[in-house]
Amino acid sequence: MPMTAGIRRAPGALLALALLAPAPAGALTVHEVEYASQADLKLFRVRYASQADLRIHWVRHRSQANGDALWWKAKYASQAQVKVFYVDYASQADLKVLEVDYASQAGWNGPPRGLGIR
């Protein structure tokens, strides 16, 4: 088999691997700011999972934060990857979230957006 035949197949194989591989899991540390102008991300809390873009679970320790859906509250803005502000109306939000009780319930509704990777 000529060497070029393997090279031609490689892009298809790489594409398949990229689609099957999970997104990189980076811990998402979050700090809630006082004003919307200070926020990187504006959030709106919804009542039902079907209304949420992302279902989040708050973890107790920074080491437990994993991916986009398991969040750890940073005490100081300098510790956080993302500064958030909770808005009063869904139309003002960048992201609609539902806080869930268990880590197994956390995740995206629809395609992932990769919040933990900056």
* Domain coordinates in residue numbering, the chain: 24-108
Q: What is the pLDDT of residue 53?
A: 94
The share of the chain scoring above pLDDT 70, in percent, equals: 73
pLDDT given at position 66: 85
Asked if the model's pLDDT at residue 4 lies above 90, the reply is no
Residue 77: CB atoms within 10 A of its CB come to 11
* pLDDT (0 to 100) of residue 27: 59
Judge if pTM exceeds 0.75: no
Residue 2: strand pairing partners: none
52 vs 113: CA distance, rounded Å: 13
